[in-house]
Structure 1
Amino acid sequence: MHVSYGVPLAPLTTLGIGGPAASLAELHDPAEFPDFVQEVRHCTAPPVCLGEGSNVLVGDRGCALPVLRIATRGIRVLGAADDGRVLVEVQAGHPLWELVETLIAEGLAGMEMLAGIPGTTGATPVQNVGAYGQEVSDTLRSVEVWDWELGRRVTLDAAECALGHRTSMFKKSRRWTVLTLLFALRRAELSGPVTYRSVADELDVPLGSQVPPAEAAQAVLAVRRRKGMVLDSCENDRRSIGSVFFSPEVGDPMASKLRDLGAPVAHFPDGSTRVTASWLIRQAGFALNTSLTRGVRISSVHYTLVADDGASAAGFREAVDIVLRQVLDRTGVLLAPEIDFIGD
């Protein structure tokens, strides 16, 4: 395991913002994780974990706590579970997009709508990653984690992880570091039902249709590329973290009011009713490519925030606040950031 000191963290994130790590350990071999535990045994707080840096904003002064960059890779198909689903074990550092491609090639359905999402597989339960009708909670069976409070490895069932809409118990605490994940998937020739109009239109099928998983994944990729949500799809907007804000939950009176205005209001698997954050941002009067603070603007293809040269963590936080306040003033709905903030 390689440990470096004073390493700039900005190049390790998709936003390209932030100061250095006091120490950075890169974990490629799972067997070396105990070495890292010994390395940080005298620290007063758990380390900061970093995967591909696709949902994080690093502070301008960097991070004084040890940073662990998890780059472990590996997928193992273990066989069938009691319910007939196929169990697949994945190392936490394995890129999610590679996992989706592998599952499709193996004839396994259940994660095809997650095609094109950046980041590592180990990050997916942290905010219960989801897109276009599928969430990690649909297929996650268990996770093996290091519990920094207990000082040992622990296996947690998915139900113990408190998975909700873009949240989990991991989102609220650094107590646990995800090491491996176990998924249960269907061996099937057809995807799950296509429940999003944009994906159905791309496939030219009615809502609710099922198509080969590879076709569903390609349609999702096409939709994501048009919105600049695939990292290599738009050079001008490549410094992005995707969705900066959660789709906020709204009560029945507000949901009815928003529907009358043409807002995309939908019911989510956790029982909540939510409105799309990007619609709210546009409704609040922001135009594509609008400059917000130095080096931070609205994307040129989608209503989210991106960084340019000159951007800083402080400026990005200020831009988030500008959008939050104007959306609340103009629509009456309060947004909340889903970014993971790292550092001092």
Structure 2
Amino acid sequence: MPEIEPLPLASLTTLQTGAAPTRMIDAHTTAELVDALREVWADGDEWLVLGGGSNLFVGDEPFEGTVIRVLTSGIEKLPSPHEGRTRLRVQAGHNWDDLVAFTVAEGLAGVEAMSGIPGTVGAAPVQNVGAYGQEIQETLVEVEWIDEATGDVTVAAASELGLGFRTSVLKHHYGDVPQRRAVILSVTLDLAEVGDAGRKVQGAQLRRALQLEGDDPVPLAWVRDQILATRAAKGMLLNPADADTHSAGSFFQNAIVSEAFARTLPPECPRWPVTPDLDAVTVIPLERFDGYVPAPVPVQKDVKVSAAWLIEQAGIRKGFALPRSRASISTKHALALTNRGGATAEEVAELARFVQGRVQAEFGLVLQPEPVLVGVAL
């Protein structure tokens, strides 16, 4: 189990904040990862598992515990019980975008719209990563994980993860603790075999992003190229030379609100239904039909609204920074809080609080942070 000289977390996270922790372990194999976790848990130490560091906001004070870097990698092709599909079992430390590139090269569809998302495969189910209407829960079959309470390694079906909009039972929500204290070791996906011909793009959000009008199949490689170009234009594709990419991605979640609350927002605020709006069908057995058909019961549906739109309409423009601060809103995307070079975690937090306050004052809505916060508070 290779213990190394602790590195500053600012050098290992995309937001570039955080001091060196007390202790650091590099786990290059699943066995090393399991051994490290069991040892730390047995000692009762504070611990933090670190993958790509792309969805993490770390405070300025040193983390007083052990940081375990997940550096495992590997993709295993497996048969699927479903005709025309293939399963991939992927190690938790494998780079997510490298996995997407692999699936596109193999003609396997299901994650191509998530091209360019930074981070590792093991972190993807933790917050149910997604982009342009595609989410990992659509292809996730199961995960192999190790439980802190028992130290046992088991396999859990996707249905056990409590997957929702950018959440799961494993996620550390701001101000709360995860429902399940466990670490993912591997992830298994079930993907459609489409080959070079590609497939029809169904989702409205993805079709808009790709500017598609017809229903002809499009190659997966073309979809990937278009998504990568779109993300790069928004500063959401990691580039050491571009300070707009020195961020934790989207810092605030698109808000999930009730239909009633959504109606209080300006009509031009972008919004999307969280669940499909299906026509209700009432089935009454013929032997019990008395000629009366009950009126349908109204169901309150949730709506997802654009956090980026709310931020800009609250008067915070791209590139905005507080006086004398080295943190700013990205010049390309209103949802990204960026480190322009040497910004402290407190400078980023101060900007985040300012954004939250302006949006709440203007629209009565408190935006919630998307990254996991370690040693920092908003």
* Counterpart secondary structure, 1:291: coil
Q: Give the TM-score normalised by the residue count of structure 2.
A: 0.85
How has the CA–CA distance of structure 1 residues 308 and 203 changed in structure 2, closer, same or farther, with 3 Å as cutoff? closer
Residues 1:332 and 1:37: Cα distance change in structure 2 (over 3 Å):
closer
Match of 1:336 in 2: 368
**% of aligned pairs identical?**
37
1:254 deviates by: 3.1
* Other-structure match for 1:155: 155
1:101-151 CA-partner distances (Å, limit 9, x unpaired): 101111110000000100001000110000011101000000000101011
- Paired with 1:49 and 1:222, the residues of 2 have a C-alpha distance of 31
Is residue 239 of structure 2 the alignment partner of residue 232 of structure 1? yes
1:278 to 283, 303, 308: 308
Give yes or no for contact 2:201–2:207 (8 Å, CA) kept in 1: no
User: Which deviates the most, 231-240 or 46-55?
Assistant: 231-240
CA distance in 2, matches of 1:34, 1:311: 35
Q: Find the aligned partners of 2:199 and 2:263 in 1 and give their Cα distance.
A: 32
Shift of 1:286: 0.5
| Secondary structure at 1:90 match in 2 | strand
Equivalent pair of 1:7/1:23 in contact (CA under 8 Å): no
Q: Which residue of 2 aligns with 1:287?
A: 317
Closer, same or farther: CA 204–231 of 1 in aligned 2, 3 Å: same
What is the CA deviation profile of residues 247-302 of structure 1, one whole-angstrom value per residue up to 9, with x for unaligned ones? 00122233234362x11100135963111111111010011111136211111111
Give the residue type in structure 2 aligned to 1:92: A
Using the TM superposition, give the Cα deviation of residue 14 of structure 1 relative to its aligned residue in structure 2, in angstroms: 0.5
Can you list the C-alpha shifts for 1:41-76, whole angstroms capped at 9, x where unaligned? 443256211101001011111211211110111001
Partner Cα separation in structure 2 for residue 182 and residue 276 of structure 1: 31
Question: Which residue does the alignment assign to 1:300?
Answer: 331
- Give the Cα separation in 2 of the matches to 1:288 and 1:6: 35
Instruction: From the superposition, tell whether residues 226 and 233 of structure 1 become closer, same or farther in structure 2 (CA, over 3 Å).
Output: farther
Structure 1, 157-166 or 268-277: larger mean CA deviation: 268-277
The 5-angstrom pairing of residues 35-184 of structure 1 reads: 35-44=35-44, 47-82=47-82, 84-172=84-172, 173=178, 175-184=181-190
Return 5+ residue gaps in structure 2 as ranges.
Answer: 173-177, 277-300
* Aligned counterparts of 2:235 and 2:252: Cα–Cα separation in 1: 16
Partner of 1:244: 251
Does the C-alpha gap of structure 1 residues 149 and 252 become closer, same or farther in structure 2, counting only changes over 3 Å? same
For the pair shown, the structure with the greater C-alpha radius of gyration is 2
- Residues 86 and 187, structure 1, Cα contact 8 Å, conserved in 2: yes
**How far off is 1:210 after superposition?**
4.3
- What aligned pairs does 1:190-209 form with structure 2 within 5 A after superposition? 190-191=198-199, 193-196=201-204, 200=207, 203-206=210-213
- Distance change in 2, residues 1:59/1:202 (3 Å): closer
Output one character per residue of 1:154-193: Cα deviation in whole Å (capped at 9) or x when no partner.
2110000000000000104271011001111111243462
Q: Normalised by the size of structure 1, how large is the TM-score?
A: 0.92
1:9-48 maps to which residues of 2 (within 5 A)? 9-44=9-44, 47-48=47-48
* Contact persistence 2:122–2:185 (CA under 8 A): yes
Check 1:98–1:42 CA distance in 2 against 1; reply closer, same or farther (3 A cut): same
